Amino acid sequence: MAERERPAFAEMVESLPDPVLVVAAQDPDDSAGRRLVFANAAARELLRIQAQGGPLVSAIRHPRVLEAVDESLFGGANGEAAWETGGAQDRFWRVLTRPLETAPDGARLALVVLRDETDSRRNERMRADFLANASHELRTPLASLTGFIETLRGHARDDAVARERFLGVMAAQAARMARLIDDLMSLSRIELNEHIAPEGRLDVVLVVLDVIDALAPLAAERGVKLSPKLVERGVATITGDRDQILQVAQNLIDNAAKYSPAGGVVEIEVKAGLTAEAAIAVSRPGAARLSLLSPDLVGGERFVALKVTDHGPGIAREHLPRLSERFYRVEGQKSGERLGTGLGLAIVKHIINRHRGGLAIESVEGQGTTFTAYLPQL
């Protein structure tokens, strides 16, 4: 390759997708003296580094990472550490450090490379969770199916009435197993992509209207009225995955309808232009309230909020933090004819987190519940 066509090293490192840093230091006892003399674009974005030459600790302060860096700076050896960024979009990194040649001014130098291991860590955990959950949750319906098959082979063999009834129950159990698998797959998929921000554009009002149309017949069957109060079209636009936001609205509204008494009303509200505080402002005075998920805020964000209010049995305070746990269902609550999987709210929470939004709940026992999902507005 001709000399002039070869890109400069700095330029190449600058555009590497992995974060790369060079740390310089003179004195092992001066922790402020470990300075970032170079950070490529990926590193500047991840560590929110504004200017070169700042202290290393203002970018990374985890003791294990600092030790690994020291290993290369002052021990002349390669170092390695695992690092979790923490926060709502948790990411896992492997930090590798290498000693570099001492600079002309006598400063010791070390190269620091961060390798993103979020995907493999998630995959690993997801696979383990999926297997554990699926095998545990499928066991009950499977056992009951097996029981019925035995009965049908045995003393119910010639009883036409019993046979019909049992087959009905078996069909319901099989349907529940299918739902469980669907929900689990859906949850796994969402969790895998949770750290990747969505790309589409959508109007929350239109999505909510679609969900209302779809759920209206079911609600009518239960004698429940869906009462929307929405901002104008085109106002509540967000960056998001339409199918997923649909799933959020559908789960929250379905729950509200499911836990409403016959003749009850479910109020569905969409608001826009709210601050995070305004989005979770009290809407049910006297209620037990809890934020199940809150976004990392930088300041100045505006949110679109979807509020779903029912006048059902409500949820006692001690159950609130666990609602978005997988398979968690409030004990002794009758959920009507269709037994849920207890995955609905877990799915909702993960979708909202992927969209960098929040989820709050307010509930009064015996009076009803309000769920508020809020998402960053475009």
Partner 1 sequence: MNEPWVKSSGDLVESLVAEVARLGGLAEAQIADCVDAVTRRDVPLAQAVVARDVKLDALQADIERRAIDLIATRQPTGRALRRSVAALKIAMNLERCGDLARNIAKRSLVLSESEPLTPLTRSIERMGRLVAGRLKEVLDAYTAGELDKATGVWVRDEEVDEHYNSLFRELLTYMMGDPRTIAPGAHLLFIAKNLERIGDHATNIAEIIHFEITGDVMSGERPKWDSLQRRSDTLKEEG
Ligand X SMILES: Nc1ncnc2c1ncn2[C@@H]1O[C@H](COP(=O)(O)OP(=O)(O)OP(=O)(O)O)[C@@H](O)[C@H]1O
What's the rounded Cα separation, in Å, for the pair 241 and 372?
18
Residues contacting 112, CB < 8 A, separation 6+: 20, 21, 22, 23, 69, 72, 95, 96, 97
Interface with partner 1 (CB under 8 A), residue from 45, 150, 296, 365: 296
- Give the containing element (helix H, strand E) for 372: strand 368-376
CB-nearer residue toward partner 1: 220 or 278: 278
Q: How far is the CB of 265 from ligand X (least distance, A)?
A: 13
Provide φ and ψ at 303, rounded to 5°. Answer: -125, 155
State the Rg of the chain over Cα: 27
Q: Which is nearer to partner 1, 62 or 163 (CB)?
A: 62
Shortest Cβ distance from residue 76 to Mg ion (Å)?
58
Site for ligand X in 259-298 (CB under 6 A): 259
Binding of partner 1 by 331 (CB under 8 A): no
Name the residue among 238, 237, 249, 245 with its Cα closest to residue 212. Answer: 249
Instruction: Compute the least distance from the CB of residue 192 to ligand X, in Å.
Output: 19
Contact letters for ligand X, residues 215-254 (x by CB under 6 A): ------------------------------------x---
Query: In degrees, to the nearest 5, what angle opens at C-alpha 377 toward C-alphas 375 and 378?
Result: 140
Which of 56/224 has CB closer to partner 1?
56
35 to each of 55, 66, 207, how far by Cα in Å?
A: 4, 12, 50
Site string for Mg ion, 338-377 (x = CB under 5 A): --x---x---------------------------------
Only segment of 86-94, 114-122, 161-169, 344-352 that touches partner 1 (CB under 8 A): 86-94
Q: Is 344 in the site for ligand X (CB under 6 A)?
A: yes
Which of partner 1, Mg ion, ligand X, none is residue 329 near (CB under 5 to 8 Å by kind)?
ligand X
8 Å CB contact between 349 and 323: no
Q: Which one among 291, 302, 330, 367 touches partner 1, defined by CB under 8 A?
A: 291
Among 312, 357, 358, 376, binds ligand X (CB under 6 A): 312
Measuring CA to CA, which residue among 61, 69, 65 is closest to residue 23?
69
Closer residue to partner 1 (CB): 89 or 237: 89
Per CB under 8 A, does 32 bind partner 1? yes
Instruction: Check residue 55 and report its DSSP letter.
Output: B
Q: Min. distance of Cβ 178 from Mg ion in angstroms?
A: 16
| Residue 320 binding target from ligand X, partner 1, Mg ion, none, CB below 5 to 8 Å by type | partner 1
CA distance 84 to 93: 6
Query: What is the C-alpha to C-alpha distance for residues 41 and 29, in angstroms, rounded to an integer?
Result: 29
225-230 and 265-274 strand pairing: parallel
Residue type, position 131, single letter? L
Residues that bind ligand X (CB under 6 A): 183, 251, 255-256, 259, 310, 312-313, 315, 323, 328-330, 333, 335, 340-345, 369
